[in-house]
Chain A
Amino acid sequence: MHPRSKFFEANATQALRQPSLQAALKQLEQGFVAGRAACYEALPEFEALRDRAEEVLNHTLENLDAYLLEYEARVIETGGQVHWASTADEARRIVVDICNQAGAGNVIRGKSMIGEEVGINDALEKAGFEVTETDLGEYILQLAEEPPSHIVAPAIHKTKDEISDLFHSRHRELGYHERLTERSALVAEARQVLREKFQQADVGITGANFLIAETGSNVIVTNEGNGDLSSTLPRVQIVTAAIDKVVPTLEDASLLLRLLGRSATGQEITAYTTFTTGPRRQTDADGPAEYHVVILDNHRSEMLAGELRPMLRCIRCGACMNHCPVYGRVGGHAYGWIYPGPMGSVLTPVMLGLDEAGHLPNACSLNGRCATVCPVKIPLPQLLRTLRGRQHRRRLNSRTARMGLSIWAWIALRPRLYQSITRLAMSIMALLGRRQGRFRRMPLAGGWTRVRDLPAPQGSTFQAQWRQRRQQ
């Protein structure tokens, strides 16, 4: 998709004015957030699991080249093929080539964020293939020609009415004429339409929640079973996955699976967790004849080198966005690309560049809720601050912001000067605001006072109060 992260401010303003989006986002609290909280309460080992997951993933990243090679060797031993792609463009070319070689006409996709990241659907359609998304949410978005707005629940912004209209207009050509209004009827109709697609497909493309170095397996976690049908029925299976998906053993995957469902949707485990390994064996009754894995880098090795390395632990549960007060108001589309919320605000600037996505690391109050719930303990606010720092050093933020920050830094590095200035400023502001207790307008703080009042200070600075308390 064409990125629109540059327009975050305009996108966000628009999102705030969409009542249906606001209603959908409100449901997050009772849905995913409450679900995760209940799982957390029910599992005394939750924090210990988070610590161990962080440890295992750090160990894996420190030995990433070796584990990727072990994984590759196991895939080849079991009859599969491994393709490596440095960039999104290379990944697209590899997938199109495999489909061409297979003489495919119809391609089905199981939901995968890597597929979105590299834009597989567009590339395949341009090459003349018919591509069908099979995850219900992704299918709805494919019909609506929209990008996902959440990494776990891609069509979270769509209302039932919108889906009714969409199916009514797009399924007519397939012989479905009635406009359905019941949720169950909509799901049943999509099931029927997609069943046919499953049966006709030559190639099934899925993602991977994990790749296992021990066995050469890929893991797919779903509730619908679409990933399983996509990897069982077509003659050719393609798995698209990034280098950071590999874990050493089946036991390591089991550890992460205990955290994934709970953090994502508040489920101890999803309806289906499937490990597939290579193509069908001679002794198998069904399964694909060809099994391909496309391993994608796309700037991840850059992240491995620096302060952003913890981001490579991400298991794509979506808990950070579910708990983010900014995402909770503006939704996923405002972020302008396929990864929204806190994790997207780290990934998008790395993958598309800070000039394109510079707003995103700043669309955060650093409240820290995302880091508190992250199952693999990624310090997201710290990573966002790292990106803000890079932005400042590369002079990508506005001149006013740069000047303001430079002045503030100059003063803050001189504690005595800082204390006298803040003391003076606070007493003046307390005096000026003593009648109303707040300011409706404030020079240099128009961005704040345009939409809310600024509370008047009480007269003494934090540092002064702190010192006083310590003396008592």
Chain B
Amino acid sequence: MAATATTVTGAREQILNRIRDALGRDTDEIDIAALRARIARHPRHIEPAFDESPTQRLCAKLEAAAASVARVDTLAEVGAAVENYLQGNDLGRQLVCSGDALLQQIEWPPSLDLQRRVPLGADSVGITSALCAIAETGTLMLISGQQKPTSLNFLPDHHIVVLPLDQLVMRMEDAWDRLREEGAGMPRSVNFISGPSKTADVEQTVEYGAHGPRCLHVILVG
């Protein structure tokens, strides 16, 4: 591996020097402080306007992307909504659940067999919460963490997401601010999910359930 290490170091300087030559300037001619200030300021750009209410827009966009949406008033009703979904889709009673704080608060009906673990290929239903949702595009934002395996968002055939409506933001830029407020830096994975998995690789025609969940079900609370 020593040989590779040398090549790698050499390539780094070569590439950076070629870039500097191409730009016609030296390293010391760059105002690195100004660039870092731009990063720290992270200016927002053009944010498309929309008229609908954020909740309306979120639901409409999710449904247009073939996700299903259920609404309940309080967290106490989530358990019944999940039961409903499982029954309606003949999915049995077992589901893999992320261990995040919101789902821990819920009192689950005894009929459900909730397992808090990393999912396996054979698990058919997973349930998670989301950090927030974005009204502009009808998108859920999920982050990884101790009790939040990323694979839970992709392996099971059915992905149920519980979202309190006070976590709905307007745009992706608001979602970044929300994440920055958490103060823990960039999580290992940030997944923006805007519908079930799909492909149009066979004759440009959409089929659902390519690799990830065939069905995405969102339970809005509030």
Contacts and interface: CB of A to CB of B under 8 A. Distances in A.
A254 B149 contact: no
B121 to A, nearest CB: 6
Interface stretch (B33-41, B87-95, B105-113, B160-168): B33-41
B21 A305 contact: yes
Nearest to B18: A301
B22 A304 contact: yes
A251 B199 contact: no
A302 B48 CA distance: 36
Nearest to A69: B16
A31 B206 CA distance: 11
A43 B191 CA distance: 25
A33 B3 CA distance: 48
Nearest to B13: A84
Interface string B27-66: 1001010011011001111101100000000000100010
A229 B48 CA distance: 31
Interface residues of B, number: 77
Interface in A244-289: 248-252, 254-255, 257-258, 265, 268-281, 283-287
A17 to B, nearest CB: 20
Contact of B39 (A32, A199, A214): A214
A169 interface: no
Given A228-B154, A228-B191, A272-B212, A85 B11 contact: yes
Interface in A135-194: 135-137, 140, 153-156, 158-160, 163, 183-184, 186-188, 191, 194
Contact of B19 (A28, A32, A194, A243): A243
Contacts of A160: 202-203
A297 interface: yes
A254 B194 contact: no
B209 A188 contact: yes
Q: Which 10 A-B pairs have the closest CB atoms?
A: A225-B212, A305-B22, A224-B210, A301-B18, A137-B201, A285-B149, A304-B22, A84-B12, A273-B192, A249-B42
26 contacts: A49-B46, A65-B27, A66-B32, A70-B36, A84-B12, A94-B4, A137-B199, A158-B202, A199-B121, A217-B186, A225-B210, A232-B150, A233-B151, A248-B38, A251-B44, A255-B46, A271-B65, A271-B196, A272-B212, A274-B191, A275-B190, A276-B190, A284-B188, A285-B144, A286-B150, A302-B22
Interface of B: 1, 4, 7-8, 11-12, 14-16, 18-23, 27, 30, 32, 35-36, 38-39, 42-46, 48-49, 61, 65, 118, 121, 137, 139, 144-151, 153-155, 171-173, 176, 185-205, 207, 209-213
